[in-house]
Structure 1
Amino acid sequence: MSTRGLVTLAVCLSATRLQNTQGESIAVGKLAKQLTTYSEYHASLAISDAYSVSGSLAYGANSSWWEVDLRGYFDISKIILTATDNSWGPLYMKNAYVEVMDKDVSLCSDAQVKWCGKVPNIVGNNEKFIFTCNATFPIRFIRVTRRSTGTVYLNIGHIDVQGVGATKPYRSYYTTTMRRKVTKPSLTTSAITAGECGIFCHRNHSCIDFSYSKTAPTQSNCLLTYEVVPQNSVAKNDWTTYTMDTCL
């Protein structure tokens, strides 16, 4: 059973920032998708440098897009797009443009969107393009779009996203799923109520979903995660999982 509830954050939360000290792309391991996938060139391949030779490949009529959900909110310093190193890839990345958003524009009519820039008309094999977005709002989604007449392909060899974590400065709505428990939490802690567990999730820049139990041992009754739920959860009668809605 799934219902839509509001976990009230009872304290004033100011913006916090955590440095990306290791320099790893904050898109690694996050949820990527694209309009339509050509053959085996899935969206997730673009965020793994190991597949940069061929990358991801999407196609659509008049427009094709690729998007990553960062599963958290960030201030983005730069986005680096790298063309593939094959005979057709650079052709399918030219004139693509980059945007950042606080919400999924496919689902939310009130998403804030910031244009970051456009790939030029001529692209070389394995060529890199750096975009700085200077958005004034916390970013969760990054989208790359390419438009043309007829069927248009979008090929991304690799996308590297650099930034620091930012906490949302307002309440968060969650979809409540009864009798589900996160199995691979990124952080296990103690909370008196589900609302307090929600506050911990809200303060943690990488947390989107969490599970809470009134009857679990006190020191481990609040589980935070940034991975996809419910794929990352199991049936547990005394637990409730809260998944942050895309349209906040």
Structure 2
Amino acid sequence: MLVRVLVGAAVGVTILQKVIGENIAFGKTAKQSTTHGEYNASIALDEIYSNRGSTTGLGNPSWWEVDLRGYFSISNITLTAVDMIWNLHMRNAFVEVMDKDVSLCSDVQVAWCGNVSSTVASEEEFTFTCNATFPVRFVRVTRPGNDRLNIGHIDVQGVVATQRYRSHFTSTANRKVSFPSLATSAVTAGACGILCHKSHSCIDFSYRTAASTEANCLLTYEEVPLNSVADHAWRMYTLASCL
């Protein structure tokens, strides 16, 4: 497999060892400008399917995006091409990171991480460093020109960061987190929200009025409503994408 490491801009360097930790994009929510056949955006998040990847339809430009469902300091992002002729559809693509959903917000902070070269070999890897000075929630890959974008696999490396903006949650009655990352107690829904904010990786929470000894505050970093169930005693609070 051919590996290219790009630091900051398109400057090639050689490394002796490639250290990869947990892919913080795995299992998160991905979408793309359009979808070609069954090659949906989420395929690029699972390395098992890197030989086929995600593929958009024709677009000008074509793009792919993942919501990390939390805020992170990103160290590097690796794009892997597929092992067939579709690798050509990753040429000249560029990678950016953002703090907010660019489709919903007008005050998005964006940092450019790098771009793929004009030649892409089968299963070739491109690793970019990201020097964003703000907590990152979204990673977007864009391919300019009227063409498709194919990504065999994307690996995002980073650590949990403090979200520096005031959190705002929208509420939904009669729903609760079904698989909480933390179950604890809180005096009020606001206090539960503060616990969610302080945990940094928390993106949604559920609260119900109960005795202080009971677990009435459920925190999660998973997507809602996929990670929620109907329950009349609870209320679901979801972190807004545009704050």
Q: Same fold (TM over 0.5)?
A: yes
After superposing on structure 2, the runs of 4+ consecutive aligned residues of structure 1 that deviate more than 2 Å are 215-219
C-alpha contact (below 8 Å) 2:186/2:212 kept by paired residues: no
Distance 1:121 1:193 in 2: 55
Aligned residues: 225
- Structure with more relative contact order (C-alpha pairs < 8 Å, separation 6 or more): 1
> Amino acid of the residue matched to residue 54 of structure 2?
S
TM-score computed with the length of structure 2 as normaliser: 0.89
Distance 1:31 1:216 in 2: 35
CA shift, 1:229, in A, is 1.1
1:243 is aligned to 2:238 = yes
Matched residue, 1:181:
176
Tell me which protein shows more strand as a share of its residues.
1
C-alpha contact (below 8 Å) 1:191/1:218 kept by paired residues: no
Matched residue, 1:10:
none
1:168 is aligned to 2:172 = no
C-alpha contact (below 8 Å) 2:33/2:59 kept by paired residues: no
Could you say what secondary structure the match of 1:218 adopts?
Answer: coil
Distance 1:63 1:218 in 2: 54
Range with bigger deviation, 78-87 or 57-66: 57-66
Q: What is the correspondence of 1:5-44 to structure 2 with a 5 Å cutoff?
A: 23-44=21-42
Matched residue, 2:11:
none
Could you say what secondary structure the match of 1:45 adopts?
Answer: helix
C-alpha contact (below 8 Å) 2:177/2:228 kept by paired residues: yes
Distance 1:187 1:137 in 2: 26
Alpha-carbon deviations, 1:172-227, whole Å to 9, x = none? 11111111111111111111111111111112232100000113673310101111
CA shift, 1:98, in A, is 0.2
CA shift, 1:246, in A, is 0.3
Aligned-pair identity (%): 63
TM-score computed with the length of structure 1 as normaliser: 0.87
C-alpha contact (below 8 Å) 1:74/1:165 kept by paired residues: yes
C-alpha contact (below 8 Å) 1:215/1:238 kept by paired residues: no
Distance 1:85 1:205 in 2: 37
Unaligned runs of 5+ in 1: 1-21
> Amino acid of the residue matched to residue 45 of structure 2?
I
C-alpha contact (below 8 Å) 1:94/1:122 kept by paired residues: yes
